[in-house]
Amino acid sequence: MHRRHLLKAMGALALCPFCTTGSLAAEGPQWSYEGDTGPDKWGSLGGEGNVCATGTQQSPVDISGSVRALQPRLDVDWAQRANTIVNNGHTIQLGFTDGGTLRTGPEIYRLKQFHFHRPSEHTIDGRRAAMEVHFVHEGEGGTLGVVGVLMREGRPNRVFSRIVETMPAKEGSPVPADPGIDPFGLLPIGGAYFRYAGSLTTPPCAETVAWMVLVRPLEVAAADIDAFAKLFPNNARPVQKLNRRFLLRS
């Protein structure tokens, strides 16, 4: 495949790495979080641009030993409601027709979707949180900016509770999302974040992601975590080697 066409295909996969509809997803290899198609087998599943086993900047990682550095603030200007919600067999995902923007210094990304993992994929000093939400943004040239928010048991969160109440119990096509699902409601107070260069956390594990993991976690109700866990008891990729990358903290 011509390099330009390959990058275009990888970009399409990256924007919706969990999608179950559309030609790209239909042609891709089947994968899961356990057994013969689990994370330790992703690198042998084939498919264009699959670097799950050979990449050197894979995600998630354990966040420890970060270096304080002057980083641009995260300027979030998102749409205040999601358009669709879907159980795609790997997670619950909320999609946007026009999700608004994330600006970080000169970089501008557009919000495409957000989805959830249980337990958290990133760890802090070796410890996992109960869950993690990823806000996936598209930048220029197929690059991605993903904001990760760790989620811990605590006070109920109105937006997450609404998602849990309306999430499809079975895998299927996207349906209209509840108009009360505002992504801003899933952001904790405070803008400090960790940043590093990484990858998608699902096949093809493309190393096209600028990761921004917020320092402060989001509190959500234990009952809502349990409800999500009934659908997805474990949909988190194991931690990957940091190798020679920098972990920066704003």
At residue 28 the predicted structure's pLDDT band, cuts being 50, 70 and 90, is low
Task: Classify the C-alpha dihedral 79-81-86-88 as positive or negative.
Answer: positive
Closest residue by Cα to residue 123 from 150, 160, 142, 100: 150
**Count of structural domains, the chain:** 1
Range list of H helices, 154-207 = 158-166
* 53: containing domain: 3-249
| Tens digits of residue pLDDT in 162-200 | 999 999 999 999 999 999 999 999 999 989 999 999 999
CATH number, domain with residue 33: 3.10.200.10
Comparing 212 with 11, the larger pLDDT belongs to 212
Query: Hey, what amino acid is at 77?
Result: D
| Tens digits of residue pLDDT in 193-224 | 999 999 999 999 999 999 999 999 999 999 99
Model confidence, pTM: 0.90
| Tens digits of residue pLDDT in 50-79 | 999 999 999 999 999 999 999 999 999 999
* Residue 70 tokens, joined: 């002057």
